[in-house]
Structure 1
Amino acid sequence: MKYKAVFFFLHHSLQAERRRRLGLPPEDPSTVKSAAPSSLPIRPATKAEQMRECLRSLKQNHKEDDAKVKRAFQTLLTFVGNVAKNPNEEKFRKITLTNLFFQERVGSLKGGVEFLELGEFERMEGGEFLLLPREKVDMAVLNSAGSELDSAIKNPFFGVL
């Protein structure tokens, strides 16, 4: 929202400067539409944008170990892909958080579990498991997750900015 206010200010400053250079009188403030920050529409972040931000954060939090980040992204892609291919198989929709393989590749990295939770996985049984309930399997969300992970893996500039 802060950026929109800055943009608004810069836009109108440039318009005023342009009018001055063209020899036009300053704009009458009573005819200018008010665009106070509170009147600007706020668009909620889409699931894909939230996932992308989560992956960016994961990469930034662990930028000292690129190989570990890439392995985490690939592991997450495997989890998401397995569910997408086999939505009825509980073994693909349930992840044991204490599993050493999972901990080493995803669970120990800040942002890994959060990404799965954005994909509708839920903590179950005292926080020991992540489970994606069958009724919450959404192919559009899984495809978005897969697409974001694929981009994060292939784009060498992902998360740099």
Structure 2
Amino acid sequence: MVAELSDAAWLAARTYRWAADAQASFAWDATGYRGIVVPPTHIAHALRAGDERVVAVAGYPTGRHHSLIKASEARLAIQQGAHEAWVSVDDTNADPNSVLADLIAVREACPRPAELGLLLPAEGALSAAQLAELAATAGYERVIADAPVDAALEVVAWAADDDAAVAALGAGAAALVRP
């Protein structure tokens, strides 16, 4: 017999809570979310709080960190217990080879089974489709976007409210990030 999920349980299983900027991220309630996105310094607390899936950001928010720093930040996050790392890239970098090298450096530092996601910038020198293709080439599992993007990877969409969540899921997003 297959257990039926309510709409709320189905949505919760596909939602990450964004706490990467929150000053009060030490006071979140882990109930009702697939996981939580935190700065690397909050991984231990998220794990102690019982979050099902902890995601750390690397190179956040600008992506203008040196590749080795970004790779080290992601690797340390995984070693501290994060289930995956979401990486920011420099939105002013128009050289696809340079961006690919940046993404590969992080993947090399965080081999599977660690999962990686690329935080797509709202605007940038490279299109969202180009960045998604580079992420797929580098071996990433997902892209995180604020607008629909055609990608071979799982797409996680930003959703500030219920209407945005419905629209994102309708556009093909596999999961959501909520504030």
TM over 0.5: no
- Kindly indicate which of the two structures has a greater share of residues assigned to helix: 1
Give the TM-score normalised by the residue count of structure 2.
Answer: 0.27
Q: Of the two, which has the highest radius of gyration?
A: 1
Give the TM-score normalised by the residue count of structure 1.
Answer: 0.29
